[in-house]
Each structure stands twice: as structure tokens, then as C-alpha cells.
Amino acid sequence: MRAILALEDGTIFYGRSFGAPGERVGEVVFNTGMTGYQEIVTDPSYRGQMVVMTYPHIGNYGVNRLDVESSFPQVEALIVRDACERPSNYRAEENLGDYLRRYGVMGIAEVDTRRLTRHIRTRGAMKAALSTECFDEEKLVLRAQEAPDISELPLVAAVSTREPYHWQEGTEPEWVPSADGFRPAVLPRPRDPYRVVVLDCGVKRNILRRLVDVGCDVWVVPHNTSARDILAYEPEGILLSNGPGDPQSIPEVLETVRSLLGIRPMFGICLGHQLMGLALGGRTFKLKFGHHGCNQPTKILATGEVAITSQNHNFAVDIASLDLSQVELTHMNLNDGTLEGMRHKSLDLFSVQFHPEASPGPHDAALTFVPFVEMMAEQRA
């Protein structure tokens, strides 16, 4: 089945449909990961976006029920050069195209993804219309132009849990080299778990698993839960999760975060980092084409070390807007100099723009969860 992708600036790409038929509009962004397409497709932070995979061959190891970051695909569409229809992996349960079709998600293959990626890098992320039904280029360009901006959509409300729930699953052990060959890499766990409330703006499951790994008793609540109701759980720490869209489009969540500052140790990831920046009096801005991939170099300012991190965001905190007498900058992006992490100098709160849980991506930043536990341990003492 033929498919057509029309960008709002009039650029047209033709290809072959390998997902569900139909028509969708969304913001086109590119992801530089070579693997991890299943985690990318199910990441709630991609709601409202069509994802271009820069690696040409996608789907070769299939899809399974374990490597998902939410219950179903979240992307508006997946755009690839070559979609593998016959995966080869012992964990594969179905191919990528069947998986997308099962959930009504569109996919387009045989696209010149290198050209499309270079176009987005030059012009910036933009809206597009994808269709297997209409091939009138002018009509599709107009539909893309008339589509609402991603900042105008209620994306967080669409991906957040409707009801609170208790999460108890950790990750499978990772194996690291040792003198005797290999040993499990075990993060430090306290004898009595720390009760943590996760404010769910679109949380990835691996964030929850990592919290369990470091000894947390995890409770996940909807994004619109009030500060009073969060504190009713008697948490020892609060985590502000990742999520889609513009942090300034969820003022009710921002007000909750402001109300909780300094009351309990707080850790923000991705969108949670941006919300913390706004709550501390800063500003956020939209990046030209965002950071999407698992190879983003991030400098740890305290040591000068560089961690290769997994990232997925279109917005960033403006360093110039922060009160640096109160806020310490902890991480910087080495590609464009944007802020990747901060902590408050007197309150127990810190945040990172990258994804320390990875999934997909390297585990350079896995120990980023440890300071959160240390803050809660100090409060207990």
C-alpha cells in the first residue's frame, strides 16, 4: 500500500505503508538510536509525534511483550527506510508492522530518511500529515499547516494514569565484568524501602523499575493529583516523571510542583526537570529539533566526566533565567550547551534532562538515582 508524508513547508515524501492504514497529523522528529525501536514506539513522551529512525534497517529483532515502556504504542507514526518483515531473534513474538497494525498506528517505509533528517536539522521539527487514503499533495500540506501545535494539545492528560497504582517490579540483573568472569550489578538497597510517589506525566516503566532497584516502595499517581493528596501517601520522596509536550501547557501540574518544593526530597526527569526549572522561577524554550536518541554526550560538571545518555525532549530550561545563587548547574549537553541537570543549594531537590534509566540506551547514568535515595536517607536520619 502506498503512503505519502507531507510536511507543513510543502516537502513531500512517498513510501510504502507497513503499519495501519488511514491518515494522521503530528510533529516530525528524528531519533538517532540504532536499536530500541520498541521502547521508542511505546515511550509516552512521543505522544503527538511522528518519529523518523535515522538507522536504516528497523524491525530486525521483532517485538516482544517485555521491552515496552507503556501498555501500547504512543507515537503518531513511525517513519523508516527499511522495515524488516521477517525478524530473527529468540525473544521475538511478532514483527513490527503487525504490532503497529494491531494498535492502529501508522508506519511508512522506503522513505529517504537521511534526506528527511537533514531537512529537519536545517528547518527544525515541523508538523506533517501522513496518509494512505489521500494523495493530493496540496490538501495534505494544508492539513499539516492547520494542525494544532504540539504545545496546544493535552498530551500529558492523554498519557497519564487515570488511577493510582502500586509498582513493585524491578529490572533483571545486569552483568558486569569481575575477576571471576561476570557478576550481577546490584545497586545499593536499604533494608526498609523508601516510599516514593511518582507524579505521572507519562512515566516510562523502566524509571519505575530503577526506583525499585535502588530500594523504593513506588506509588504512581495521576498528573492532576493535588499536593495535599500526594502528601497523604506520607512519601519520603517525590519523583516528577518524563512526559510529552510543552511544560508550560500544564499549569495545574506546575502549581502542584511549586506547592511541594522543599517539603520532601524531589527528583525530576526530563519533563519533570523542566517543571522543576519553571517552579524555581526559570523559563523554558523549544529546541530547534530536540534531543532524541541514546547517544547524547552529557558532561558532569563536578568531575568533568562525560556520560553518553538517552534523551527524548523538545524543550529545555533556559540557564539565563535561573537564580544561580540558589541553583547549582550539574550537567551540560556537549552538543549544544543546553542544561542537562541542576540541584538546589539549600533544598533537597535535583533534576536531570536526560533519561538515567535508559531503555533504550547506555547505562552510563544509572547511578543518577542514588542521590535521590541519599536525600531520603538523610531525612530519615
* Tens-digit pLDDT profile for residues 217-255: 999 999 999 999 999 999 999 999 999 999 999 999 999
Query: CA–CA separation, 122 vs 12, rounded Å?
Result: 16
For the chain, the structural domain boundaries read 2-147, 156-380
Query: Is the dihedral angle over the CA atoms 92, 29, 297, 271 positive or is it negative?
Result: negative
Over residues 150-167, the mean pLDDT reads: 97
pLDDT at residue number 66: 87
* pLDDT band at residue 178 under the 50/70/90 scheme: low
Cβ atoms of 351 and 277 closer than 8 Å: yes
Residue 181 has pLDDT above 70, yes or no: no
Tell me, what's the pLDDT at 186? Answer: 55
Beta carbons of 185 and 175 less than 8 angstroms apart? yes
Average pLDDT of the residues of the chain = 94
In percent, how much of the chain has pLDDT > 70?
95
Residue 14 has pLDDT above 70, yes or no: yes
Reported as a single tens digit per residue, the pLDDT across 77-121 is: 999 999 999 999 998 999 999 999 999 999 999 999 999 999 999
143 pLDDT higher than 90: yes
pLDDT tens readout for residues 262-310: 999 999 999 999 999 999 999 999 999 999 999 999 999 999 999 999 9
CB 65 within 8 A of CB 184: no
- Say whether pTM exceeds 0.85: yes
Class for domain 2-147, per CATH?
Answer: alpha beta
Helix (H) or strand (E) holding 157: helix 155-159
Element (H, E) at 58: strand 57-58
Q: How many CB atoms lie within 10 A of CB 287?
A: 16
CATH of 156-380, one of 3.40.50.2000, 1.10.1040.10, 3.40.50.720, 3.40.50.880: 3.40.50.880
* Active site residues per annotation: 270, 355, 357
pLDDT at 187: 57
